[in-house]
Amino acid sequence: MVVAFAACSKDAPIDEDGLLVTARAECFVSNFELLGTDFVTVRSKTAVIDTTAQTINVEVLFGTDLKNVYPQFSLATDCKLEPKIVGKMDFSDIANPKTFTVVSGNRQIRKPYKVIVKYQ
C-alpha cells in the first residue's frame, strides 16, 4: 500500500487551528442556535442577529437550564469563532452576556458578538 500526501503551503496558508487562511474579509454571524442537553432547541423563537450592533438576542423557554446548553453558530464563509466551542456552556449569568469573536477568513478582521439570553 502506498500513501501519498501533498501540501500546498505557499498557495494555501494554514492558521494555528489547521484552518485555511483565505482572502475573504467578510466577518459575521448568519445564524445562531441554542440546544439543550438532549440536543433539542431551547429557543422560544428565532434568534435576532444584529450584525451592526454585533449582538445576538435569543429568547429561551421558561425553565431552561442555562448552565448546560450547546451554542451553535453559522458564520460567513471561511470565518472561525473564538473561543472555540467544545461542549456544553454556561449561559446562566444573564446580567453578563457571553462574548464570542468572529474572525474573518483572512484573519485580519475580528468582530465580537454578545449573546444576550432572556427567558420567555
Q: What is the pLDDT of residues 18-62, one digit of tens each?
A: 889 999 999 999 999 999 999 999 999 999 999 999 999 999 999
- Is the distance from CB of 109 to CB of 90 less than 8 angstroms? no
Q: What is the pLDDT of residues 58-102, one digit of tens each?
A: 999 999 999 999 999 999 999 999 999 999 999 999 999 999 999
| Domain with residues 29-119, CATH architecture | Sandwich (2.60)
Can you give the residue ranges of every domain in the chain? 29-119
Please, what is the average pLDDT of the chain?
A: 93
pLDDT at residue 110 is higher than 70: yes
